[in-house]
Structure 1
Amino acid sequence: MTCRALILGCSGTHLTAGEAAFFRDVRPWGFILFKRNIGSPDAVRALTASLRETVGRADAPILIDQEGGRVQRMGPPHWPKYPAGARFGRLNGSARAMAWLGARLMAHDLAAVGINVDCAPMLDVPVEGTHDIIGDRAYAQDADSVAEIGRAVAEGLMAGGVLPVIKHIPGHGRATSDSHFHLPVVDADRASLEATDFRPFRALADMPLAMSAHVVYPHLDPKRPATLSRIVIDDIIRGAIGFDGLLMSDDLSMKALKGAYRRRSEQAFAAGIDVVLHCNGLMRQMRGVVAGAPVLDGEPLRRAEAALARLTENAESFDVAEARSRFEAGLSVAA
């Protein structure tokens, strides 16, 4: 069944009649949920089932940002609160094992309500004096530790039947502004970026999905953010980093990008993005994004199918109660 190269959001905890009709007509590849979409576990299960019904695909990707800390769309009272990424970096010898376990538990929570993709791990490497949009979301301050913990998170998610999305490729850690509101510019030369920022992404280039950064790197492309830059996507993401999985944009509704939504969509695809993401569920904006989006075919379709094929690659059952107890005990040693 054909679909469009889109991941779209919806407005609330259930689909409106207008949204259902729109999604049936548009047939996006996938959907994304935010806190506004999260009710009880039963309500989330009903919503994910409704979304998949509109496109007629039982394995349609349904994404969420579930990192822990500040970025956790599903939380108390129905789901546990998970720590920010930096907590794992302080665990020293047990960082990798605990990051895997936390991600495996998150995957259990997500899969139980029909969510099969998590926009994690975040592989950005922060530097002194940058914007706190990354802050304690970062696993560590050095690239090798970020890569090691990030791989543990990715593998923990996949062990629970949830696909990871590495973000924000090729690196958001040096940004001095928040791309939700402004277009960040990272004025580091390529050698510096290669030595630090690109390293975790290169180490996890075998992952199925990645999310682009709305960041300008003047020493790579002086005019366009990575999401809209053929130079960055071809030379850096596909070339130097070696990522051949499905490349999705960050949210096209973020204020880092300017102009009409159709144009944003067209520019992203022209640059080499495989699938565009629009998150806020505003119908007027979504119509513009849809107007600039092609049917998913060719290499993007191959990458999408390869990603979904990994959904059951490592999924396995485990003792949830025992794992939660072990996770809480392990975290207690962190500062």
Structure 2
Amino acid sequence: MTRRRWIGLAGCLTIVILVAIIAIAGGGSNQPGADANQTAAASASATAPGSTTAPASSSTPAETAPAAPPSTRAPGKLRVDAARAAARLFLIGFGGTEGRDKLLDRFRKREWGGVVLAPGNGESPQQVADLLGRIRRAALDHEHEVPLFAASQLGGDLDAVPVGAPLQSAAKTPDQARATARAIAKALHPLGIRMVLAPDADIGFAGGPWEGVAFSDDPATVASLSTAAVAGYKDGEVAAAPGHFPGEGAASGDPAIEAATVGVSLDDLRARDFVPFRELAGHSAAIQLSSSTYVAFDGVTPATLLPEVVKLLRGELKFEGVVVSGDLAAASLAGGQPVAALAVEALKAGADLLWVPGGADDQVAAWRAVTRAIKSGAVPEARVAEALARVDALRDKYGVR
């Protein structure tokens, strides 16, 4: 074979080898290309209209990055980042004397799900309207959802917003209970309040924490008047969240100020304390859990942290609305655990809104703990999405915007 033919053959072989190498390299690059496409798609989805996920930035903390609020209604999937989803799960409170600028700054930094007004927060309806208007503007200025404004309204000195209502126990008939609740709702609605932590649906045991406030010591009467009150609030376009399931009328003390235990069996609870809640389950937009401990369960864990309690409410009583946790600051009195840990446990147990009154430090610590739990998978995204979907439905029905 001539030298020229050898050179030609070598050249052909070289070309064939190069083509093969390129083909192999091209096939191998398909997977990274697919990953890149997926990343680009995810990025586009995150920045598309209706999404709030922003690119990561070391200079902008997740909790302060403003963006337009999207829907969180996709079942089983979050359409906001973990930090934002976590904040939307919280109902927060504040001290009656807290400085206004400091309070408003809390709503600029974080998209809290709602605010619960407590006695001492409102000097007059006009002062409350002004305060809630400022909170609303602070939220909107930072492209957050408008918080769900709620108030604890049990009448008299137990009203967060002084509207001249008597203690709920003053109502003796369903018509009176409904008329009183309707009047309260019509006073609160123009202020922007769309939910009340009321009525109290506990049995008024002698010496119990709700004696004198509860409608009656008779379960059937409590059921009738509580259901009428819920209807009255609904008449005035305000959602009612009666409490405190599974019933804390027989508690050893007031769980808001001391560790309290309900020392009766589950059969006793079913026969007596469940009676009002069976009626309320089909009529209430929300139901609040108790922060007491119960001998009927393990005797040491507040009910608001127990999956068994939520299972009873959802399964046996067929409740489909929003489950509001008990006061998590009060729940911490039972075992000394920090509020942050309790917030995670309450969410795992099935609470949809986590109520943390009082100090900002506890609220921020609880938000951080829930955010970490979502990111780590300790709380599944599906649990969070389910909770937010129920809250969204309540917000839509009662015009929170």
Same fold (TM over 0.5): yes
Matched to 1:270, the amino acid is K
Residue in structure 2 matched with residue 45 of structure 1 by the alignment: 129
Deviation at 1:241, TM superposition (A): 2.2
**Residue type of the alignment partner of 2:363:** M
Q: Provide the residue aligned with 2:148 in structure 1.
A: 61
Q: Which moved more, 1:142-151 or 1:184-193?
A: 184-193
Matches within 5 A, 1:244-323: 244-254=320-330, 255-256=333-334, 258-280=336-358, 282-294=359-371, 297-311=384-398
Q: Are residues 1:10 and 2:88 paired?
A: no
Residue of structure 2 equivalent to 1:30: 114
1:199-214 aligned within 5 A: 199-206=275-282, 207-214=284-291
CA distance in 1, matches of 2:320, 2:335: 25
Q: CA deviation at 1:155?
A: 0.8
- The answer to whether the Cα contact below 8 Å between 1:246 and 1:304 also exists between their aligned partners in 2 is yes
Distance 1:7 1:15, change over 3 A: farther
Deviations 1:12-50 (A, max 9, x none): 478643433332332111001123321343321121112
Alignment of 1:48-197 (within 5 A): 48-56=132-140, 60-75=147-162, 79-80=163-164, 82-89=165-172, 95-128=173-206, 130-131=207-208, 133-197=209-273
TM-score by length of 1: 0.82
Select which of 262, 280, 300 maps to 1:223.
300
Aligned-residue sequence identity (percent) comes to: 25
Deviations 1:162-218 (A, max 9, x none): 110110111011112110222222221121111110111111102111111012222
Deviation at 1:70, TM superposition (A): 4.1
Q: 1:46 to 1:70 in 2, by over 3 A?
A: closer
Which AA in structure 2 matches 1:106?
I
- The residue type paired with residue 120 of structure 2 is R
TM-score by length of 2: 0.69
Q: What amino acid maps onto 1:261 in structure 2? A: V
Secondary structure in 1 matching 2:154: strand
For residues 238-249 of structure 1, what are the structure 2 equivalents within 5 Å?
Answer: 238-249=314-325
1:68-119 residue CA offsets vs partner (Å, 9 max, x unmatched): 13412222xxx32x22222223xxxxx1111111111101111122211111
2:251 and 2:274 map into 1 onto residues whose CA distance is 14
Give the residue type in structure 2 aligned to 1:8.
Answer: I
Deviation per CA, 1:212-245: give whole Å up to 9, x if none. Answer: 10122222233311111122222x2222222221
* Counterpart residue number, 1:328: none
CA contact under 8 A between 2:200 and 2:226: conserved in structure 1? Answer: yes
Q: Which has the higher contact order (CA 8 A, sep 6+)?
A: 1
Alpha-carbon distance in structure 2 between the residues aligned to 1:257 and 1:23: 30
Equivalent residues, number: 299
Identify if the C-alpha distance between structure 1 residues 149 and 60 changes in structure 2 by more than 3 Å, giving closer, same or farther.
Answer: same
1:34 aligned partner, one-letter code: A
- For 1:117 and 1:257, how far apart are their aligned partners in 2? 30
Structure with the largest fraction of strand: 1
Larger-gyration structure (1/2)? 2
- Report the 3-state secondary structure (helix = DSSP H, G, I; strand = E; otherwise coil) of the residue aligned with 1:7: strand
Distance 1:17 1:173, change over 3 A: same
CA distance in 2, matches of 1:19, 1:147: 38
User: RMSD value over aligned CA atoms?
Assistant: 2.2
Secondary structure of 2:370's counterpart equals coil
* Aligned counterparts of 2:290 and 2:337: Cα–Cα separation in 1: 18
Asked whether the equivalents of residues 252 and 276 of structure 1 are also in contact (C-alpha less than 8 Å), the reply is yes
Q: Which runs of 5+ in 1 are unaligned?
A: 90-94, 313-335
Please list the CA deviations of residues 276-335 of structure 1 after superposition, one character each: whole Å capped at 9, or x if unmatched: 11111x2222221222235894211121122223326xxxxxxxxxxxxxxxxxxxxxxx
Structure 2: state its 5+ residue gaps: 1-68, 70-79, 375-382
